[in-house]
DNA sequence: GCCTTTTTTCACCAGGTGGTGAAAAGCGTA
DNA sequence: TACGCTTTTCACCACCTGGTGAAAAAAGGC
């Protein structure tokens, strides 16, 4: 705990490039990220993380404290980048299209940053998305964790959708988001199930195929729910 | 807790009718199911299962062997019932409506049995669905497990949809199923996230609200994907 | 009653768990 | 060089893990 507090050390100095200090911290986070994504929080031991990072077990506690704090550090590292990318994307869409916004446009602005990052951001991001998908489906502490990190940008999505369809009820918007996030996270986590299910016809790593379908799918579903609610 | 209470009732001081043999086996499965659903495979110890079932640890190994075999037994117990219910539902729909089938009708026949079972089938089913949702999002061995237990009925869905929309490409059908199952499992697992996200406006336990929206949502999404593919 | 089989308990193991404290190794600065 | 600070290693702990073998208790057939 005292060790964890020292993480806010003077970080401005220019250092020679050796695998030490902050570099090692990132290495630990990378290993933890991959392992947590594959096996879940309880399926990974600090010793496994240390071993894969090429580091002593005690060093993990020195940098991060308890195991759960390490997990949170993994989760937090990319959450900010993610939230900012989505927020920027949605704001840009709103400013560019103004009154000509569409439901599919808003949803695209919300989802596409994640697809782009997963495709271009390096291998760590794929692990990260698999991790988030798992947390998203964990009843015990998943909901709370997701809320803590991702609620604001979701509210931004819902509010923007409300602008596009002012007659839509918030209840419907929230349920549609629930459906959307289930599809989106499963697609991003690339579990490989669609590969065997489709007998090689589809590949879960083919995010271009996801892009070509998911936006239209969610948008049409959203419109249908709103229309049905307005009619009933 | 519940299990221990039941056992105390049937095994009271003077009563010869005690929960034994197969009853006890079911009790263990119930406890394991709830715990696995909440904390995942690695988040549960055999001792926790034994404790909640009011049973000695060794008895679990006596009945089920290794921990993983216990998990598979939990998974298998309800899978058959589930698959049969869905298969019957879809066959009935096909026979009743014949050429007048709709996409929304097929999807309803596929999903609604799960909603009904979750609503009417007792508390164990909710745990079970949470468990399946978690496995569905587990990269390491989730895809394989899901395929082993649930692939046939999914192929039945896809084939039936192909009858309704003969021009649809299988690629699209499989991707739409992927989206559908992500939404469906998240809704069925009742993580409670929508409750806090919507600030009390929605409740994840409100499966009637899911029923009123999910079928239309998925059907419209499906139609949009098929239409777009046919146009391009 | 007795004897056999199944079910349940108990004691226990070998190895692994998260975590700690102190010593050691770097390393910039004087 | 020596000093002070951070980073890394090492030995270690108390407890828990999945799992086992044998004894004890029921259950059942005769």
Q: What is the pLDDT of residue B100?
A: 96
pLDDT confidence tier of residue A206, bands split at 50, 70 and 90? very high
pLDDT at A152 over 60: yes
Residues in chain A with CB shorter than 8 Å from the CB of B43 are 40-42, 140
Concatenate the DSSP letters of all residues of B116-183 into one string: HHHHHS-HHHHHHHHHHHHHHT-TTTHHHHHHHHHHHHHHHHHHHHHHHSTTS-HHHHHHHHHHHHHH
Q: Is A151 on the interface with B (CB under 8 A)?
A: yes
**Token pair 């009417």: residue:** B120
| Strand D footprint nucleotides (protein C-beta < 7 Å) | 6-11, 16-22, 26-27
pLDDT confidence tier of residue B141, bands split at 50, 70 and 90? confident
Residue of B nearest to A140 (CA): B38
Share of chain B above pLDDT 70, in %: 90
B174 vs A143: CB contact, 8 Å cut-off? no
Instruction: For residue B216, give the nearest of A144, A212, A224 by CB distance.
Output: A224
CA nearest B52: which of B9, B10, B1?
A: B1
Output the average pLDDT for chain A: 89
Instruction: Please tell me the pTM assigned to this model.
Output: 0.88
Categorise residue A40: left if φ over 0, alpha if ψ from -120 to 50, beta otherwise: left
Q: Is A141 on the interface with B (CB under 8 A)?
A: no
Query: What is the pLDDT averaged over residues A20-43?
Result: 91
**Cβ-proximal residues to B140 (8 Å cutoff; 6+ apart), any chain:** A38, A39, A43
Q: What is the pLDDT of residue A20?
A: 59
Per-residue model confidence as pLDDT tens digits over A57-100: 999 999 999 999 999 999 999 999 999 999 999 999 999 999 99
CA nearest B47: which of B62, B58, B33, B34?
A: B58
pLDDT at A165 over 50: yes
Best to test chain A binding among B220, B227, B231 (most A CBs inside 10 Å): B220
A133 vs B134: CB contact, 8 Å cut-off? no
Per-residue model confidence as pLDDT tens digits over B157-208: 999 999 999 999 999 999 999 999 999 999 999 998 999 999 999 999 999 9
A217 vs B42: CB contact, 8 Å cut-off? no
Q: Is B103 on the interface with A (CB under 8 A)?
A: no
Per-residue model confidence as pLDDT tens digits over A171-198: 999 999 999 999 999 999 999 899 999 9
**Residue scoring higher pLDDT (A110 or A2):** A110
CA nearest A49: which of A70, A69, A73?
A: A70
Per-residue model confidence as pLDDT tens digits over B83-125: 999 999 999 999 999 999 999 999 999 999 999 999 998 879 9
Query: Which of A120-130 are b and which e, b meaning 16 or more Cβ less than 10 Å from the residue's Cβ?
Result: ebeebbbbbbb
């Amino acid at each position: 705990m005292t060790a964890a507090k020292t993480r806010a050390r003077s970080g401005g100095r220019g250092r020679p490039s050796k695998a030490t200090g902050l570099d090692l911290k990132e290495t630990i986070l990378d290993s933890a990220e991959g392992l947590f994504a594959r096996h879940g929080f309880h399926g990974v031991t600090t010793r496994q993380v240390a071993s894969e990072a090429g580091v002593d077990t005690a060093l993990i506690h020195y940098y991060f404290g308890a195991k759960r704090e390490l997990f949170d550090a993994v989760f937090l590292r990319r959450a900010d980048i993610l939230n900012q990318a989505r927020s920027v994307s949605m704001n840009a869409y709103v400013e560019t299209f103004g009154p000509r916004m569409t439901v599919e446009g808003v949803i695209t602005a919300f989802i596409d940053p994640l697809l782009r990052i997963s495709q271009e951001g390096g291998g760590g991001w794929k692990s990260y998305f698999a991790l988030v998908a798992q947390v998203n489906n964990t009843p015990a502490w998943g909901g709370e964790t997701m809320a803590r990190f991702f609620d604001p940008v979701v509210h931004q999505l819902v509010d923007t959708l409300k602008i596009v369809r002012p007659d839509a009820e918030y209840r419907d918007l929230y349920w549609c988001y629930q459906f959307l996030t289930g599809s989106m996270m499963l697609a991003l986590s690339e579990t490989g199930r669609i590969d065997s299910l489709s007998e090689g016809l589809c590949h879960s790593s083919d995010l271009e195929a996801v892009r070509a379908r998911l936006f239209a799918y969610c948008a049409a579903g959203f419109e249908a729910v709103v229309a049905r609610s307005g009619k009933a």
